[in-house]
Amino acid sequence: MLKQNDKITYTATGYANAETVGEVDGYTVFVGGMIVGETATVKVTYVKKNVAYADVVEILTPSPMRVNPTCRHFGKCGGCTLMHMDYAEQLKFKQNKVAGNIKKLAKLDVDVLPCVPSNLVFGYRNKLSLPVAGRVGNAKIGMYQRGSHVVVNMDDCLLGGSWSTKLTQIFRDYLNQNNIPPYNEKTFTGVVRHLVARYVDEQLLVTIVSNGEFNFDLKPLVTELKKVFPTFGLFVNVNTYKNNVILGKITRHVYGISQIMGEHFGVKFCLEPDSFFQVNNGVKDAIYQKAKDLLNVANTDVLIDCFSGIGILTTALASERYQTYALEIVPSAVADANKMVELNNTPRVTNVCGDVNVELPKLTQELKGKTITMVVDPPRKGLGENICNTILQADVDNIVYISCDSATLARDLAMLSTKYTIAYVEPYDMFPNTDNVETLVWLTK
């Protein structure tokens, strides 16, 4: 019988998300930081019925795919979970994760292509949201430990690269030198909750998330940022909610540029602090190119982009060959999407403000007889039963589903596969060194 603090010999026989799984004395044991095939001495941290969790004490038989983690925070910080694997093994892990979730959760046997690699394994993130903790004069800024809300103090995140290192150092010094209290999420006291930043094409947007009005002088921060970042904008977001949501509803522009202007994949865009934009520029463009290729293969007459946001994906996929409709429920996002139409001169794009469950049936009824391809790129929670039913009833011809969570993707595919064939599944490594994976799925009626 396993007990907490027992030290046992464990062999990893499979993966379960970022952790390995194996059997010991009738218990299913989960251990992180290992590679399938490795044997280790592990220490049991938690036991319930026939399931146990453990931490590595010593690797006894290392895998040939094991590498020394590049980051000194690995194992403490919860941001990276696969840095102990060489990159080829990371890609294999992600291909198997997508295939495993679809088989286990959707009960479907489909061919999953190899995971498309990222051109950058480090320094690829154009956005970071870092929690702030600690006390006055000793602020901690970094990432949470895995499975907790304990902040690992760090300023050299390898995923963000040099821009994030410099910014974090400047911001921590600013908080400490000006005696600005970090937020305490247990007592709901303190001021600064998060540092949120996006860096695209050498333009930086910095947002201070404050627990109420921010009444401290920002001039010292502006002065230091000017020394390092020629083009930047500074914002304060007010968030008094007693929950884990990062941004509140009120954002105030304080200094510098108010938006990032750029052009990727032939699309001119404007990004504000809360605009959705994929975090890995190179992989984003690869996914968009694949989606565009599939639209051409399908001989699309009409494209409908659901959950279109500010319209970046819509514009990337729009063509003079077919009419494009973009459905989005948030009015401010639709207003930004209309600006995108003007900026990119895409007259065959129509932005519709409304609920997909209401607007999609209307559109498909009006467009009956045309070949309709629908694109969905939902948040991590996926589509869900209501929207899947709406899609099934709308009877579109083809679906491009871009997912950032293969578990919710699998749940949705189980419903959509009652009417559609899953013709193509390809993972993309949007998030190297982590266990997260982006997936593109092509469904045909």
What is the pLDDT at residue 298?
85
The whole-angstrom separation of Cα 295 and Cα 398 is: 9
Residue 5 pLDDT exceeds 90: yes
Lookup result for tokens 């194996």: 22
For a pLDDT cut of 90, what percent of the chain falls above it? 93
**Could you tell me whether strands 232-238 and 203-210 are parallel, antiparallel, or unpaired per DSSP bridges?**
parallel
Q: Which of 242-246, 275-279, 301-305 has the highest mean pLDDT?
A: 301-305
Mean pLDDT across the stretch 171-200?
Answer: 97
pLDDT tens across 199-228, in order? 999 999 999 999 999 999 999 999 999 999
Q: What is the pLDDT of residue 222?
A: 98
Position 16 confidence tier, pLDDT thresholds 50, 70, 90 = confident
Identify the structural domains of the chain with CATH numbers, from first to last. Answer: 7-66 (2.40.50.140), 94-119+279-444 (3.40.50.150), 127-264 (2.40.50.1070)
Please tell me the predicted confidence (pLDDT) of residue 28.
97
Confidence of residue 14 (pLDDT cuts 50, 70, 90): very high
Predicted local distance difference test score (pLDDT) of residue 102: 97
- State the burial class of residue 276 (Cβ atoms within 10 Å of its Cβ: 0-12, 13-18, 19+): middle
Q: Identify the pLDDT of residue 208.
A: 98
403, 382 contact by CB (below 8 A): yes
Q: What is the DSSP letter of 208?
A: E
What is the pLDDT at residue 407?
A: 96
The pLDDT-based confidence of 148 (bands split at 50, 70, 90) is confident
E-only strand ranges, 111-266: 127-135, 138-144, 151-153, 192-200, 203-210, 232-238, 250-256, 260-264
What residues are annotated to the active site?
Answer: 404
CA separation (Å) from 194 to 28, 153, 211, 213?
37, 13, 10, 14
Mean local confidence (pLDDT), 367-374: 94
pLDDT higher than threshold 80 for residue 437: yes
Residues 287-317 pLDDT 10s: 999 999 999 888 899 999 999 999 999 999 9
Q: How far apart are CA 177 and CA 139, in angstroms?
A: 10
Rounded mean pLDDT, 22-45:
96
Which strand ranges, in their side-by-side order, compose the sheet holding 398-403?
349-353, 323-328, 302-306, 372-376, 398-403, 438-444, 421-428
Confidence bin at 41 (pLDDT 50/70/90):
very high
What's residue 443's pLDDT?
Answer: 97
**pLDDT band, residue 197 (cuts 50/70/90):** very high
Q: What is the rounded CA–CA span in Å between residue 106 and residue 101? A: 7
What is the enclosing helix (H) or strand (E) of 242?
none
Cα Rg of the chain, angstroms: 23
Q: Tell me the percentage of the chain whose pLDDT exceeds 70.
A: 100
pLDDT digits (tens, 9 = 90+) for 333-365: 999 999 999 999 998 999 999 999 999 999 999
Structure tokens at 35: 């590679």
Model confidence, pTM: 0.93
Which among 264, 286, 282 is positioned nearest to 120, based on CA atoms? 282
pLDDT number for residue 439: 98
pLDDT at 259: 95
| Range with the poorest average pLDDT among 59-63, 146-150, 173-177 | 146-150
CA distance 305 to 300: 13
pLDDT at residue 147 is higher than 80: no
Q: Tell me: the pLDDT tens digits for 75-113?
A: 888 889 999 999 999 999 999 999 999 999 999 999 999
